[in-house]
Amino acid sequence: MATPALDRVARLRPGTSGDLDEVMVVMEAAFGDRFGEAWTRSQCAGILPMAGVSLIVARDTEIGAVIGFSLSRTVADEAELLLLAVTPSHHREGIGGLLLDDFMEHARATGLARVHLEVRDGNRAVDMYLRAGFKPVGRRANYYHARKGQHFDALTLSQELSS
């Protein structure tokens, strides 16, 4: 749920393929090639028209630019948070939490039983997900491949939602 202070910084709205240029700027700034987490523009464009896929953008209320986004998909009674990113200059302002809260509120409002996500082990966002009630349920060894040859594990997190 948006707080008045956050509402002055960012507003959430549904995104479309018309937002992809700005989403990719955030993607590059947030992920780059450091850890192998970023999606390509064609991957994002390819998934957007699929049933159950939702893109939410966080726009800076002063300049109107996209400063964060979430990409998720719902299948049957479960949802997966595929990506959540915030421009580094806006880290620690609560925008990631705002996007996560929006994802969780939508999941609960539509009566989903479970939500999932995968995140790179060591990503600072892991703490945010754990505070939000996600629990570790698995690990994918060497899942992320950085450009310089490093490999990083992915943590699989899940949360059961009460009906």
One digit per residue, the tens of pLDDT, for the chain of length 163 reads: 445 455 567 899 999 999 999 999 999 999 877 788 889 999 999 999 999 999 999 999 999 999 999 999 999 999 999 999 999 999 989 999 999 999 999 999 999 999 999 999 989 899 999 999 999 999 999 998 887 888 989 999 999 997 5
The reported pLDDT for the residue numbered 14 is 97
Angstrom CA distances, 110 to 76, 103, 115, 135, stand at: 11, 11, 12, 21
The reported pLDDT for the residue numbered 74 is 97
The reported pLDDT for the residue numbered 7 is 59
SS3 content of the chain, % helix, strand, coil (to 5): 30, 35, 30
The reported pLDDT for the residue numbered 8 is 64
Dist. CA 146–CA 144, nearest whole Å: 6
The reported pLDDT for the residue numbered 35 is 81
Considering only CA atoms, which of 60, 50, 46, 58 is closest in space to residue 14? Answer: 58
